[in-house]
A and B are shown apart, each in its own frame.
Chain A
Amino acid sequence: MREKSDKSIFYNIDWITVLMYVVLVLMGWANIYAAVYNEEHYIITDISQKYGKQMIWIGTAFLLALIVLIIDENFYTAFAYVIYGLFMLLIIAVPFLGREVKGSRSWFRFGDFGLQPAEFMKFATNLAIAKFLSNQNIKIADYRNTIITLLMLFVPMVIIMKLQNETGLAIVFVAFIFTLYREGLSVNYLLLGFLAAILFILALLVNNIFLFAIIGILCSLSLLFIKRSRTNLFVVALIGIVACGMVKGTSTVYEHLEPHQKIRIDVLLGRGTVDLKKEGYNVNQAKIAIGSGGFLGKGYLQGTQTKYDFVPEQDTDFIFCTVGEEWGFLGSSLVIILQLTLIIRIVFMAERQRSPFSRIYGYGVASVLFFHLTVNIGMTIGLAPVIGIPLPFFSYGGSSLWSFTLLLFIFIKLDSHRLQILR
């Protein structure tokens, strides 16, 4: 069945996905124009301005997409580990070779343009994990394989966080938990993670001694509903002790955090007094910009909060503020719906793959995009902590656009060959 086809490279391409991609990218461009609008350079193609530069990034991203489609689909499976290793080397090298920008050492600069290899680690890791888990002898339920998979995620994560000081880019790797879940990781891990998250939050909001008491009472109560065997008693006691340990641990870790990290957590949880002129500034300004948009928005280029620089980083991480302010509830809902439609479309596509590699990769794409969407928009509307990660396809910047384009188009390429043999 394998035909080295002389068919067009666009054969069997999922045009719906491509179309949504193009729409999102162009909407992003229009919003970057609005966010950094400069009356003296009003032409959107003026490359002295960020919107002009973004145009170049978009053009090259399209080119990149084309290259991805031209390359044989087997290349990605065959070289998955190589690509992973190559980018791993790059992110290790960057802190020593690149230049420091705002405290992060993750950039290669070329004149006015810069590239962040860490961005590309996402698709590289995705390829590697897909490769590893699609091996027919591998069952993720086997704890050894779980550990290997998790290591494949943690290593780049730690490097990016520790060596490059880019928390936002590092934390994205958490997204792969969805892929792992789909591929057989017990749902209990997800739930445990969820419960742990709740405990973390409570540990910071509620007096610890009070929490210990609640945990004790809950454990005692649970004994009323289960057989009071020795093992059960032991297990309940263990759970209680672990829970208390997590609470105490969270508090201790929090106390040892860097001040700016503490503040970010405080802002999100509304702990203590947050000075809206300092640590609370970003989130407050983002909410003001979005909230003032109303139902229909203020109109294109009419957003006072974003145009006049009240919102920081409004062209990159806070680009959604421009959408919220100028396009209102309608426009911002539309963007969320578009993004989610794309993500769910990818999940559907992943499910229709015959090849496990393509499916796993597809889930990885959806997971990463979803994580970005959740954290990015969540932070602008005050539902997630301020973590500097871009809104896919929208935010200004070449690295993120290129990386998302590669991530997505490799999957589109794989999908176009879904009828072919199992890989």
Chain B
Amino acid sequence: MQRIIKGLSISYFVQVSLFKEKKYLIMGMFVLVGLLFIARLFYIQVVDNSYKLDADNQAFRKKTEFPARGYIYDRNNKLLVYNEAAYDVMVLPKEISKTDFDTAGFCELMGITKEVFLKKMKKAIQAPNSPRKESVFEKQLSPKDYASIQEHLYRYKGFTVVSRTLRKYPNKTAAHMLGYIGEADKAMTEKDPYYNEGDYIGISGIEKTYENVLRGKKGMRIMMVDVHNREKGSYLNGLYDTMAVPGKTLTSTLDLELQMYGELLMQNKSGSAVAIDPRTGEILALVTSPGYDPNLLVGRERTKNYAALSLDTLADPLYNRATMASYPPGSTFKLVMALIGQQMGLLGAETRYPCAHGYPLLGGRPACHPHASPLALEAAIGASCNSYFSFVFKSVIEDKKFSDLYQAYANWRDIVMSFNIGQRTGSDLANELKGNVPSIKYYNKIFGKSWKASNVISLGIGQAELLVTPLQNANIVAIIANKGWYYTPHIVKAVGGNAADTLLDRFRVKHYTMVKDTAFYRVVIRGMTDAVESGTAHSLQINGIDYCAKTGTAENPHGKSHSVFVAFAPRENPRIAIAVLVENAGAGSKVAGPVATLMMEKYLSGKISRTDLEKRIIEENLIAGSH
């Protein structure tokens, strides 16, 4: 039995080894345990990093400090957009104790039912959220609501509050131009790692274009918390903290008064009015109607309101008609035709073309209204003769200086496009359509390779496939007012109070059209003066202000023609160029003309002399009538 026990034990080895003496065996054991502990410590302290992460997760609370977004002012430093504090209640589900979380108390504090609580918790746990990820539990509490829960929230471990800022619009104006803010989604966070899901980000308008300066820079504070989730001060006295940098203010080129006046005139009408200071390219007003109160797209009701606005397909208030709608320019394009004809040496002030209630070469199509015939150039502009400009167009694309019609057409198209037509203006408005100047390729496709002037003659009077946005139209007027050049239209004139900010460099580059001789412009301007003094805009004279204008009636295949009116004022040293389009309102002088002239009068003299006209236009309701 002794042998067996010996055999089963290791005492045999003990006896032959160094541990023959018991004291060495005992000491050896002590040392062994010590080494085991040190090895274990090496593993958990040096090799395995997970404990470090766990420690940071439970003792550090990384608090994102959201900077205040930059304010936006109009050109006269009147406030367009400011911020209001709001508070998001955040939840980190894994922090919530399964055993002693006072659900009833929490629900009462938040003013929600248990069902709502459970629903929100489920949302916070499920993808794309997770129990280990902080997500928004309750969005955008008002300062008042926040004050009432603030003192008690510490008792509910797992819940914290982050302060945010919400946009406020004191004048409820220029919604489309300013744009709105949304929450960054997954795609956005992948594109730009600055954003976390749920961060606010400019979605449209200048909120989008100037997002990088308006947003400022997020800060991060690392707070230490104790086991009861109470804050115990900042980690290493804030060594690793970063301060939030507030967003820069923007000074808009907009004239708040003019903008609001424009919106008033355009109420209950579909259309737009764009006013530019031709000397600088600064956009003074960008009215699109119907509009909406920008405050609707802020705060907890945003989603609901947005849905309601986008469901209104008839008025379509979210649609920015000033930059996102393009229309045939109609008669205003005759101004450009007059310039091109002169530029190519095919047209002089004394050139006359006949009119037979229309273009005689094609049997009276395009048609024209009754007037004296034949007319010289200025008078033809004043009378807006369709036949005249059809002749001009024919002469331009059949120009013998070019080997064939295609060459001539290409030349025409180049000159047209130098007026910033058929391409985005490059403004700082977030969304813009290009418009359209049809290409040779396009016509080849439609007519085969043998099309002639007669196929595309209505381009000469701004119809057919020609499309411009109201913003482009206003820019064309500004070019004429400047006699051949323009600055890219823009809506921001200073960033953080600095007008020389490099962001704005591109708006200080003078662009010239391919028609450079100012004499050609003078002829056109005289024609536009005629239009006001004796032509189509005769009824819209403004006391004390000489201006130049051109009416237009854009044919609308879907219904009543659009009323178009472009003008600039004063005639000498113009300070405002304006393009107004009112959908389905008929002749240019009927609705668009009054809107444009009233806005110019308001801008230049600060008051309105034609109050009857003003009253009629404000009361004019073209939306109710159209359906």
Please report A residues at the B interface, Cβ cutoff 8 Å: 178, 181-182, 187-188, 191, 222, 225-226, 231-232, 235-236, 239, 277-278, 287-295, 302, 304-305, 307-310, 324-325, 328-329, 332-333, 336-337, 340, 343-344, 347, 351, 363, 366, 370, 373-374, 377-378, 381-383
- In the complex, what residues of A have CB within 8 A of residue B44's CB? 287, 290-291, 381
Please report B residues at the A interface, Cβ cutoff 8 Å: 1, 4-5, 7-11, 14, 22-23, 26-27, 30-31, 33-34, 36-38, 40-42, 44-46, 48, 50-52, 54-56, 58-60, 97-99, 224-228, 232, 235-236
A288 touches B55 (CB 8 A): yes
B41 touches A308 (CB 8 A): no
B226 touches A308 (CB 8 A): yes
A191 touches B10 (CB 8 A): yes
- In the complex, what residues of A have CB within 8 A of residue B11's CB? 187-188, 191
Most buried by A among B31, B40, B48: B40
Given contacts A288-B54, A304-B55, 19 further A-B contacts (CB under 8 A): A182-B23, A182-B26, A187-B9, A187-B14, A191-B9, A225-B7, A287-B51, A291-B48, A293-B45, A304-B59, A304-B224, A308-B59, A309-B227, A329-B45, A336-B34, A336-B38, A363-B26, A374-B33, A378-B37
Q: A181-B22, A383-B40 are in contact. Are A340 and B30 (CB under 8 A)?
A: yes
Residue of B nearest to A179 (CB): B26
A288 touches B34 (CB 8 A): no
* Pairs across A and B, CB under 8 Å, 27 listed: A181-B26, A187-B11, A231-B1, A236-B4, A277-B99, A290-B41, A290-B44, A291-B44, A292-B51, A292-B56, A304-B55, A305-B59, A308-B224, A308-B226, A308-B232, A328-B45, A329-B42, A329-B45, A332-B41, A336-B37, A340-B30, A347-B30, A363-B26, A370-B30, A377-B37, A381-B41, A381-B44
B9 touches A188 (CB 8 A): yes
- In the complex, what residues of B have CB within 8 A of residue A290's CB? 41, 44-45, 51
- Closest CB of chain A to B41's CB: distance in Å? 5
- Closest CB of chain A to B49's CB: distance in Å? 8
Cα separation A380 to B475 with both chains bound (whole Å): 77
A344 touches B30 (CB 8 A): yes
Cα separation A266 to B44 with both chains bound (whole Å): 21
Q: A308-B224, A329-B42 are in contact. Are A232 and B22 (CB under 8 A)?
A: no
B55 touches which of A289, A337, A347, A374 (Cβ 8 Å)? A289
B55 touches A333 (CB 8 A): no
Cα separation A191 to B34 with both chains bound (whole Å): 20
B4 touches A232 (CB 8 A): yes
Cα separation A378 to B37 with both chains bound (whole Å): 7
* Main DSSP-derived SS at the B contact region: helix
A381 touches which of B40, B225, B226 (Cβ 8 Å)? B40
- In the complex, what residues of B have CB within 8 A of residue A351's CB? 23
Q: A182-B22, A277-B99, A344-B27 are in contact. Are A310 and B40 (CB under 8 A)?
A: no
Q: A292-B55, A374-B33 are in contact. Are A226 and B45 (CB under 8 A)?
A: no
Cα separation A395 to B7 with both chains bound (whole Å): 44
B45 touches which of A295, A304, A347 (Cβ 8 Å)? A295
B45 touches A332 (CB 8 A): yes
A291 touches which of B14, B26, B51 (Cβ 8 Å)? B51
- In the complex, what residues of B have CB within 8 A of residue A305's CB? 55, 58-59
- Closest CB of chain A to B397's CB: distance in Å? 80
The 9 closest A-B pairs by CB, nearest first: A291-B51, A292-B55, A308-B226, A304-B59, A291-B44, A329-B45, A309-B227, A340-B34, A292-B52
Cα separation A302 to B54 with both chains bound (whole Å): 16
Residue of B nearest to A293 (CB): B45
A278 touches B58 (CB 8 A): no
Cα separation A334 to B97 with both chains bound (whole Å): 38
Residue of B nearest to A377 (CB): B37
- Closest CB of chain B to A184's CB: distance in Å? 9
B37 touches A383 (CB 8 A): yes
Residue of A nearest to B15 (CB): A187
- Closest CB of chain B to A393's CB: distance in Å? 16
Cα separation A290 to B48 with both chains bound (whole Å): 11
- In the complex, what residues of A have CB within 8 A of residue B227's CB? 308-310
Cα separation A277 to B232 with both chains bound (whole Å): 22
Cα separation A304 to B228 with both chains bound (whole Å): 13
Cα separation A185 to B227 with both chains bound (whole Å): 49
- In the complex, what residues of B have CB within 8 A of residue A294's CB? 45-46, 52
- In the complex, what residues of A have CB within 8 A of residue B5's CB? 188
- Closest CB of chain B to A300's CB: distance in Å? 14
B38 touches A333 (CB 8 A): yes
Most buried by A among B48, B54, B56: B54
Q: A304-B60, A383-B36 are in contact. Are A291 and B45 (CB under 8 A)?
A: yes
Cα separation A307 to B58 with both chains bound (whole Å): 13
- Closest CB of chain A to B16's CB: distance in Å? 13
Cα separation A177 to B226 with both chains bound (whole Å): 43
- Closest CB of chain B to A411's CB: distance in Å? 16
B27 touches which of A188, A309, A336, A347 (Cβ 8 Å)? A347
A291 touches B55 (CB 8 A): yes
Cα separation A178 to B27 with both chains bound (whole Å): 10
Residue of B nearest to A304 (CB): B59
- Closest CB of chain A to B352's CB: distance in Å? 92
Cα separation A188 to B45 with both chains bound (whole Å): 37
Cα separation A225 to B40 with both chains bound (whole Å): 38
- In the complex, what residues of B have CB within 8 A of residue A343's CB? 30
A329 touches which of B8, B22, B41, B97 (Cβ 8 Å)? B41
- In the complex, what residues of B have CB within 8 A of residue A278's CB? 99
Cα separation A239 to B1 with both chains bound (whole Å): 11
- In the complex, what residues of A have CB within 8 A of residue B58's CB? 288, 305, 310
Cα separation A82 to B64 with both chains bound (whole Å): 68
- In the complex, what residues of A have CB within 8 A of residue B14's CB? 187
Cα separation A226 to B52 with both chains bound (whole Å): 54
B98 touches A277 (CB 8 A): yes
Residue of A nearest to B224 (CB): A304
Residue of A nearest to B19 (CB): A187
Cα separation A332 to B9 with both chains bound (whole Å): 35
- In the complex, what residues of B have CB within 8 A of residue A222's CB? 8
B7 touches which of A226, A295, A378 (Cβ 8 Å)? A226
Most buried by B among A232, A294, A295: A294
Q: A287-B44, A294-B46 are in contact. Are A381 and B52 (CB under 8 A)?
A: no
Cα separation A381 to B99 with both chains bound (whole Å): 27
- Closest CB of chain B to A319's CB: distance in Å? 15
Cα separation A310 to B227 with both chains bound (whole Å): 5
Cα separation A295 to B60 with both chains bound (whole Å): 20
Residue of B nearest to A182 (CB): B22
Cα separation A377 to B227 with both chains bound (whole Å): 23
Q: A231-B1, A344-B30 are in contact. Are A333 and B41 (CB under 8 A)?
A: yes
- In the complex, what residues of B have CB within 8 A of residue A304's CB? 55, 59-60, 224, 235
Most buried by A among B10, B50, B55, B225: B55
Cα separation A310 to B9 with both chains bound (whole Å): 45
- In the complex, what residues of B have CB within 8 A of residue A307's CB? 232
Cα separation A311 to B58 with both chains bound (whole Å): 12
- In the complex, what residues of A have CB within 8 A of residue B27's CB? 344, 347
Cα separation A373 to B56 with both chains bound (whole Å): 29
Q: A226-B4, A235-B1, A383-B40 are in contact. Are A347 and B232 (CB under 8 A)?
A: no
Cα separation A374 to B10 with both chains bound (whole Å): 23
- In the complex, what residues of B have CB within 8 A of residue A295's CB? 45-46
Cα separation A104 to B11 with both chains bound (whole Å): 41
Cα separation A314 to B58 with both chains bound (whole Å): 17
Q: A343-B30, A344-B30 are in contact. Are A291 and B225 (CB under 8 A)?
A: no
- Closest CB of chain A to B582's CB: distance in Å? 67
